Chains A and B, each alone.
Chain A
Amino acid sequence: MLEDLLILIKHDLGGILRVRNVKGMRSERRSAFRRLFRYVAAAIFAVIVLWGIIFMVQLLGWSFFQTAIIAGIDFGATIFNFLVIISFMGSIAVSVATVANTSKMEYLMCMPISLRTLFLEKTIVVVFYNSLIYLIIGIPIVIGLAISSPVPFALLSIPVFIVMLLGNVTLGVALGGLIGLTISRFLAGRRRLKQIGWFLGTSLAIVISTFYYYSLYAADSGFSQFFSIILDFAKQIGLSSDFSPGGAMNAVTVRLIVGLPVNPVDILLAFLFVLVSIMLIYVNAIASETAHYSGWLASGSKRSSKREVKIAHTSWNPSDIPLLKMTTTTSVSMWYNTASVRREGRVLANYLVGPMRTVLWFLLIFLAPGGTMASFAPFIIISAMIPFAVSYGVYFAGYELVYEGKNLMNLQLAPASLVDYVKGKVFSAVPFTMIATGIASVLVIIVQPSLWIYIPAVFISGIFLTLASGGIASYSAATGGDFKAQRNISRQRGAAVQMPIRSMWAMARAHLIPNMIGFIGIGAILGIGIFLNPLYSYLVVPIFALICIQLMRSYVGKSGRKLQTIEASEYL
């Protein structure tokens, strides 16, 4: 089984990490620059970081670093736990998506290997993708610190770091995969429950893990009482850190570098976590295999009923939404987009709660200095609406455009304007933004009732921000999308480990620009209101809306025209 696993991994990664051009005459030749760019960039980055650290240590002296690291020793645990949480949240639908797409792996499934080996290998590839960026950033930092440190055995922290990092990411991915499979098990055969079930399941998993994370992170805040039993237990058995994978990792790597004593219990715990990770990834493979054979994921299944059920085709009569002139193409596209995302509960859930991960990122940044920022909580909630508004645009207009895949041919052949079609995709994100900002508004009013005056302004701005973000993302999709994404296990819809937009620049544009616009715009609205007069805020809203509409129109136009000219070889 191990040998099979290695062969699978070797050939799988061989295709992904190809450096040389293939020899055949039909295949695209890529310039040496494009082929090597990511490797060279990663190497240069690593060298700069490494050199920077060594240089700084020489400049400031090791004891400066040592004191600083020891003073903030718990921060390491926070970061490492963060990696686990992020891997976990990103992987909730991974195993389910793999199992659901087994029809695309028939060539592998007919090989004389058990399916669990196959699923195990796919999960390992997911772990690889998830840890890549952390390895690239982390290894040079650890190496830099370890070789600068005079502490004996500091160098040992390098391999320990790599093993622990891989172990922790594995833990996150495997747990996420298992949770997803569990959700699918509960929802098997229940058609009606599927969307809401996935939504609740995914949100619950994210919220609980976030709570756990914060309870570790802000040990004296109110959160911790939820998990106090676990934390007390950790103290009792003499851990230097809390009972968490990141804490264990911190204890055996960072403490090793700066020469703090490493408890045998910590080492034991670190071992335990790695062991548990390996076990979980294997259990995940077995669960995937079971899921495949038992057909939990069979599409279109429903509970059988004794009564005869008439098949009624739902149809939608495209009509104008009040105040909004839409062509038939736009309204059909809007309907189709919503329907196709809604059909698969796990995709919808992933899209809807996806932005929570971004919000988590910046909560970390905001809260990092300590509890002093707590009075900003309502503003943080208000600004948390921005990633939601932006992400929905990116998902519904950007990603979904890429997942049209082969269907692009039909669109190009249809006697309809692709600009209108793209517009429909952008519009389809709006209702979801309205729901999300609605929920956030309620939260804000509960936390800080005096802020109610800004809520309508932010709510309306959120809608326009979604339009701008959708427009920009659709252009990124048209220029940098991998229109064959759906055929690639790791790029699949709703559980992409690699995003469907392949070009790095296009991806950065889709996410950064709208977020910036959002923060500047909503910042201006709030700022002017607070420092001048809340009523002035409402003067900013129309300007903001106008800018967003203009951005949307210009980008949607560009992306429609670009799509019209995309060559069939890109998607067929």
Chain B
Amino acid sequence: MIEAIELTKQFSEFTAVDKLSFHVNHGEIYGLLGPNGSGKSTTMRMLLGLLKPTMGTARINGFDVQTHIVEAKRSMGYVPEEPVLPERLTGWEYINYVSDIWRVPRGSERDEEIDELLTLLDIKDASDDLIETYSKGMARKISLVAALIHSPKILILDELQAGIDPRGAATIKEILAGLSDRGNTILMSTHVLEIAERICDRIGIINKGSMIAEGTMDELRLKAKGQQSLEDIFLDLTGGPDMQRIADFLGE
């Protein structure tokens, strides 16, 4: 469903993503992990067609993103890392806006669906407020509603769980599991390794724009000999904290 083939992105002289290849199968939840600045968001933006890769190909649902961008986008829902939303619209208006663009037929069915999602994520009571009044977590939730309302086959979620309350996080986890059971494909990035460990079918760890490990949890464990938890594996592969410097800093 999602294919990245030697994706490369250079920002002037800096290579943010370096010949990254991976694929996400139908109905799979794929977790993209990596330190800050390792290129997760940039990769996602290239898959979505928001950025043009310097080299390589991104294929969504069989469509090459560069040549068939609108067709590719039609099957994707995206929650950005830092949702910047139309502040002068209310949540309800925004969701209707998105639904119109995606040609979700107007009518009571659609309204009920929106209502259901808003209630599920506990933001129903704010739906008539301007988005500029939303808290960070609320903005992310409304952005998830916008991504789900047109029932996309593929979801791309960039640090969706960041700043979401425990109840919301649990709800989201269930929703994602349910969607994947129904055959939806999900690509997500997160820094919460525990979430990744629990809900992802496969995990890719990238560092400095390149894939350094990929596979199911079991495969990753095998790779990082002896390490059990994802956190240990992650730190083993990408480097742990520099204890000497920390001591120096605290001791000064």
Contact = CB atoms under 8 A, between A and B. Distances in A.
Contact of A23 (B74, B128, B132): B128
A532 interface: no
A105 B88 contact: no
Interface in B122-166: 125-130, 132-133, 143, 146
Contact of A106 (B13, B80, B133): B80
B180 to A, nearest CB: 20
A22 B74 CA distance: 31
Contact of B129 (A26, A111, A113, A114): A26
B116 interface: no
Size bin of chain B's contact surface: 35 or more
A293 interface: yes
Nearest to A117: B70
A112 B126 CA distance: 27
A12 B83 CA distance: 17
Interface stretch (A42-50, A296-304, A319-327, A350-358): A296-304
Interface stretch (A13-21, A56-64, A266-274, A405-413): A13-21
B90 A22 contact: yes
Given A15-B86, A487-B84, A110 B128 contact: no
Contacts of A25: 125, 129
Interface in B84-137: 84-90, 93, 96-98, 100-102, 125-130, 132-133
B234 interface: no
Nearest to A300: B12
B101 A111 contact: yes
A403 to B, nearest CB: 16
A200 interface: no
B128 A107 contact: no
B162 to A, nearest CB: 16
Interface residues of A, number: 39
Given A7-B100, A106-B84, A112-B102, A304 B13 contact: yes
A7 B97 contact: yes
Interface centre among A16, A294, A298, A487, by most chain B C-beta atoms within 10 angstroms, is: A487
Interface in A135-169: none
A7 B101 contact: yes
Interface string A1-41: 00010011001101110100011111100000000000000
Contact of B76 (A15, A110, A114, A487): A110
Nearest to B146: A107
A189 interface: yes
A235 interface: no
B86 A111 contact: no
B48 interface: yes
Contacts of B133: 24, 26-27
B221 interface: no
A566 interface: no
Contact of B87 (A4, A103, A112, A487): A487
Contacts of A113: 70, 73, 101
B50 interface: yes
Contacts of B70: 112-114
A14 B130 CA distance: 13
Interface of B: 11-13, 48, 50, 52, 69-71, 73-74, 76, 78, 80, 83-90, 93, 96-98, 100-102, 125-130, 132-133, 143, 146
Given A106-B80, A295-B11, 20 more contacts: A7-B97, A7-B101, A15-B86, A22-B128, A23-B90, A24-B129, A25-B129, A26-B129, A106-B78, A107-B83, A107-B84, A107-B86, A107-B143, A107-B146, A109-B48, A110-B80, A111-B101, A112-B71, A112-B102, A302-B12
Q: Which 7 A-B pairs have the closest CB atoms?
A: A24-B129, A15-B88, A301-B12, A24-B128, A23-B128, A26-B133, A112-B74
